[in-house]
Amino acid sequence: MPDRFMKNVDRRNFLGTSGVLAASGAVIADKSPDMGHLARVKEPRATSGDTAIEPDWNEKLTIDVGVKKGPIVGNDDKAIQAGVDYVSRLGGGTVRLSEGVFHLRNAIHLNSNVRIVGSGPDTILFKTPMVKTKILVDSDWYDQEITLADATGFNVGDGICLRCKNPHNGGSTVIKRTLVAKSGNRFKLDRALRENLWLMSDSYAATLFPLITGEYVHGLGIENLAIDGNRANNENLDGNHSGCIFLQDCRDVRIQKVIARNNNGDGISWQICHDVSVEECQSLNHAGLGLHPGSGSQRPLIKSNIIKDNDIGIFFCWGVKYGVAFENKVESNRIGISVGHRDTDNLILQNHVKMSGRSGILFRAERGKAFAGHNNTVEKNLVENTGGPDAVAIDVEGETEGLRFIGNQLVEKRESAKRVGFRFGPKTGQMTLTANTIEGFQTPVLDQRKKD
């Protein structure tokens, strides 16, 4: 890493280099409080409602959940959820999981200030095989129950996904709920539908859910475990609703040393979530996206991960800003790294993007200039052996402009075929290319822009 990035690349240390990052096209806001003339707190005390200043306690609340032993014993989602709910009731803490396989019939729902910490890759959260059936009776948006055509395999406590074609506009409706009571094939839900679920709309229920999830919570940690989505035995549920980890409207999240694998959807997806760090993780063999910093997410830090055998490796969704993707190994995905709809001021630095099927790094076309991913920096990445004979190592589409490509290595070690190093589409705008190395391509730079 360049001298200016010699500090450890975590969120706190990035704050000290914010000026340098601004020059590179990414801005990390310094969130340390401006104390002005006031003295620093030298002896912090726990004070009601004061979340900014907290003593550094030697011991914090931890509950052990074990497959064979511990204060909570069990090998399913209910045991883990009991640990989460226990520490949540007391203001937060750590749920520590033993080695072993936990078979999940519902998501683990996180609450604020809770960490889930495994004992390494032998702590495995495993998605049970999906059960699916049609809805038998019409339900309206205010109803809190459903009737299933065949209740076999559906149990109280199960997480389910209800899907149908929206009867009003023809779009797709997705509703995630938990079954909380039953009589025969009638089930009560934990919450009302809030959507119409009618027979005319091909409505059905399936036991699909993210394995770890959180909504409108903060101060989360997920560390040192494996999550297996059992892709072969579960239907696809995309990353706007699910993943091995799926977070919605959260902040201050640390995901570290997690192996997310084999999901029929995304690996790790976070939507409208801010200050999320994903470090030293593996995201492998997903039908969807390996890492999905989702719509509106600010300041994601994606560092030192292995992202392999997915549809897209790292997918910057809509309006992702001031993010850093640093020192990741992105291998054998259809597209390595994808940037698009209003994704601006991000830094893609020192990643190794290898054996991508279509493009190593792609800037998507989107809906026009106002929607493109402008003002991003791509620096000191190695993009190697990209795709088939017509593949492009770094492809810029649409009306994207203001990109900076600095010191990247684009390398093709196979026969050159018709492969292209850089390609700039006909409507793309001003770009800066500085000290890039392009080797082994039939066309190092294909500039399709009209010349004045």
The token pair that represents 403 in the structure block: 């990109």
Least confident of 23-27, 66-70, 236-240, 278-282: 23-27
Round to whole Å and give the CA distance between 202 and 200: 6
Q: What is the pLDDT of residue 452?
A: 57
Q: Contact 366/396 with Cβ under 8 angstroms?
A: no
The token pair that represents 336 in the structure block: 């390595």
**Residues 357-380, mean pLDDT to the nearest whole number:** 97
Q: Degrees (nearest 5) of the Cα angle 303, 394, 370?
A: 90
Q: In this model, does residue 6 exceed pLDDT 80?
A: no
Round to whole Å and give the CA distance between 268 and 80: 19
Q: In this model, does residue 37 exceed pLDDT 70?
A: no
Q: What is the pLDDT of residue 32?
A: 54
The token pair that represents 149 in the structure block: 């055509």
Per the model's pLDDT, the better-predicted residue between 228 and 3 turns out to be 228
Sign of the dihedral defined by the CA atoms of residues 102, 106, 107, 109, in that order: negative
Superfamily of segment(s) 62-127+209-447: Single-stranded right-handed beta-helix, Pectin lyase-like (2.160.20.10)
Round to whole Å and give the CA distance between 157 and 253: 27
Would you place residue 18 in the very low, low, confident or very high pLDDT band (cuts 50, 70, 90)?
very low
Q: Contact 233/255 with Cβ under 8 angstroms?
A: no
Would you place residue 240 in the very low, low, confident or very high pLDDT band (cuts 50, 70, 90)?
very high
Q: What is the pLDDT of residue 3?
A: 41
CA distances from 394 to 96, 141, 345, 381 (A): 42, 46, 18, 11
Q: Tokens 């890492």 correspond to what residue?
A: 291
Q: What is the helix (H) or strand (E) element at residue 20, kind and residue range? A: helix 18-24
**Residues 249-262, mean pLDDT to the nearest whole number:** 98
Q: What is the pLDDT of residue 393?
A: 97
**Residues 200-219, mean pLDDT to the nearest whole number:** 96
Q: What is the pLDDT of residue 11?
A: 43
Positions of CATH 2.40.30 in the chain:
132-206
Q: In this model, does residue 244 exceed pLDDT 50?
A: yes
- pLDDT tens for each residue of 390-445: 899 999 999 999 999 999 999 999 987 889 999 999 999 999 999 999 999 999 99
The closest of 265, 297, 311, 262 to 282, measured between CA atoms, is: 262
The closest of 301, 258, 307, 313 to 281, measured between CA atoms, is: 258
Q: Contact 90/63 with Cβ under 8 angstroms?
A: no
Burial code (b: 16+ CB inside 10 Å, e: under 16) for 4-18 equals: ebeeebebeebeebe
Round to whole Å and give the CA distance between 212 and 247: 8
202: left (phi over 0), alpha (psi -120 to 50) or beta: left
Positions of CATH 2.160.20.10 in the chain:
62-127+209-447
284: left (phi over 0), alpha (psi -120 to 50) or beta: beta
Fold of 132-206: Elongation Factor Tu (Ef-tu); domain 3 (2.40.30)
Q: Mean pLDDT: which of 3-7, 167-171, 207-211 is highest?
A: 207-211
DSSP output for 166-209? -TTTS-EEEEEEEEEEEETTEEEESS---S-B-GGGT-EEE---
Taking only Cα atoms into account, the Rg of the chain, rounded to an integer number of angstroms, comes to 24
